[in-house]
Amino acid sequence: MSGRKFFYKLPLIQMCVTLLIFLIGGFIFYLMYCDRLSKTYVTFKQNANEELEKKPDLEVIFSTPQDKFWRQGDGTYGAQFDGKFINNTNHVFTDWKVTIEVPEGYWVDSSWNAEFSYFFTKSKPIPTEHFELADYKRQYHTEENLIEMKKTSDARNDIMPKTLDSELEPFKVGMIMYTQYPAVIQYSTVVGRFIYEPREGMIYHILLISIFITTIILIVLIIIQISVMKQVKFYEVRQKLDSDIIVQSFKTFANFVDAKDPYTKGHSLRVAHYSREIARRMKMTEHEQMEMFWLALMHDVGKISVKDNILNKPSRLTDEEFTEIQSHVTKGYEMLNDFVAMPMLKEVAKSHHEHFDGTGYSEHLKGQEIPIEARIVCVSDSFDAMNSDRCYRKRLEKEQIIKEFEKCSGTHFDPKIAKIMIEMIKDKAVDKIESIDTLNDINYKA
């Protein structure tokens, strides 16, 4: 198991990484959303005579205590107007500006905690003595209005949420204003922005906890997987050692069989390679291809019981001798009967000389009755026999072998497998296998 496979193909790791990316993306989006809201200015317009069904997020209430209302000697009226903010949200309100509507003929003597913008609809008298006052000098006037403005930036003037502390006193503002007649403030407009602190929202904590938990789970999974990978590496080394022992044992046993006939040296190994290549071209799985290799390697195991003088006889065999040659399939079956780890091993040993039309031996199986593995070995075995020098004849040319396969397709051989072998001859895949005499890079996975 490689690190690449571990990190990109393990479902649990993929799920955790995907979830973590999603949560982090959501967290960043939430921070950006809060920042955008915090930079957005909102406006609240209020009418003291209007009864609201629902309290607004921000209220500004102006009142005049009875003891702070008086009449001047010139017949005008003076009053202290006290205003208080009520923040009904969970967010701090800042950078605010208050505009209030006042009656005609007013002037402001002083104000505190904020500076206001006053507007009116008609021109009004301003006492001459007020022209020299500092508060008045900070004011300016146009043809229609007299305005005093300030965009508050002092953090001490921020409007704190009432919901955060029930004991918190409302933020208060005020001014001394003179008018020609007794007046009250009825209309006001407040412009400012709320500060949306991400940690104020429940979603902030949910996302943060989720990211933390997901990260911990991911780390634990990685630690577990690293531990598993170490164990797997140990077993891979052990498996490689066991595989080498099995490979060498199989090859040694196949060499015993091939040693009975000097003309067939390496025959079993070549047949095994041909068979595996056929299995690959038939789109079999890697496991099936490897198993096909071992089945073909041991197909002639029964020949170890056949007499040498019969195996190496250059002249025509008698009927009795041919019968003994044929008996190697049943004897191979018996020898491999206890090899239950790979049950098809004995079946291939017994059936690799069956013909597709039923004229083979030993059970005269026909067509699909013959195991597909045995049909593959039959083609591979026949090719190597025709492509090798024997005691009774020389090897055939490739063109002759192709003609034999075309001629015997459907009778001696499975047509589909014979066609694949012809392709292997034509594209010279068999040439690369002919000289093989080792089992390098072969792992036992069957």
Q: What is the CATH number of the domain that holds 58?
A: 2.60.40.290
Asked whether residue 47 carries a pLDDT value surpassing 80, the answer given is yes
Res 301: pLDDT:
86
Give domain status of residue 249, yes or no: no
Give domain status of residue 443, yes or no: no
Do 184 and 302 have their domain in common?
A: no
Q: Name the residue among 303, 332, 315, 320 with its Cα closest to residue 390.
A: 315
Last residue of a domain, one of 228, 243, 268: 228
Res 392: pLDDT:
64
Asked whether residue 399 carries a pLDDT value surpassing 60, the answer given is yes
Mean pLDDT of 236-243: 73
Taking each continuous run of H as one helix and of E as one strand, the counts in the chain are 14, 11
What is the band of 263 on the pLDDT scale with cuts at 50, 70, 90?
low
> Which has more confidence, 49 or 293?
293
- 75-127 pLDDT, tens digit per residue, is 788 899 888 888 988 899 998 888 887 776 677 777 788 777 666 545 544 55
Res 437: pLDDT:
53
Mean pLDDT of 172-196: 86
Do 16 and 90 have their domain in common?
A: no
Do 162 and 283 have their domain in common?
A: no
Mean pLDDT of 194-214: 92
Res 262: pLDDT:
58
Res 261: pLDDT:
62
Tokens of 347: 């079946």
Do 27 and 99 have their domain in common?
A: no
Do 174 and 215 have their domain in common?
A: no
- 66-88 pLDDT, tens digit per residue, is 788 888 877 788 899 888 888 98
> Which has more confidence, 115 or 357?
357
Give domain status of residue 253, yes or no: no
> Which has more confidence, 325 or 208?
208
Residues 6+ positions from 87 with CB-CB distance below 8 Å:
57, 58, 93, 159, 160, 161, 162, 163
Do 303 and 192 have their domain in common?
A: no
Last residue of a domain, one of 196, 211, 237: 196
Last residue of a domain, one of 180, 196, 212: 196
Res 184: pLDDT:
84
Res 163: pLDDT:
62
Q: What percent of the chain has pLDDT over 70?
A: 80
Do 223 and 285 have their domain in common?
A: no
Q: What are phi and psi of 147, to 5 degrees?
A: -125, 140
Mean pLDDT of 152-176: 73
Task: State how far the Cα of 49 lies from the Cα of 34, in Å rounded to an integer.
Answer: 35
3-state DSSP assignment of residue 166: coil
Asked whether residue 33 carries a pLDDT value surpassing 60, the answer given is yes
Mean pLDDT of 351-371: 94
Asked whether residue 239 carries a pLDDT value surpassing 90, the answer given is no
- 279-304 pLDDT, tens digit per residue, is 999 999 998 998 999 899 888 888 88
Do 278 and 422 have their domain in common?
A: yes
Task: State how far the Cα of 213 lies from the Cα of 258, in Å rounded to an integer.
Answer: 64
Do 418 and 269 have their domain in common?
A: yes
Task: State how far the Cα of 61 lies from the Cα of 70, in Å rounded to an integer.
Answer: 21
Do 98 and 50 have their domain in common?
A: yes
Give domain status of residue 242, yes or no: no
Which amino acid, residue 440?
N
Q: How many domains does the chain have?
A: 3
What Å distances lie between residue 168 and 65, 84, 93, 276, 446, CA to CA? 22, 12, 15, 85, 79
Give domain status of residue 366, yes or no: yes
Do 294 and 213 have their domain in common?
A: no
> Which has more confidence, 444 or 121?
121
User: Mean of the per-residue pLDDT values for the chain?
Assistant: 81
Which amino acid, residue 286?
E
Res 225: pLDDT:
81
Give domain status of residue 57, yes or no: yes
Mean pLDDT of 251-256: 71
* Domain limits for position 22: 3-34+203-228
Do 294 and 405 have their domain in common?
A: yes
What is the band of 149 on the pLDDT scale with cuts at 50, 70, 90?
very low
Give domain status of residue 55, yes or no: yes
Give domain status of residue 245, yes or no: no
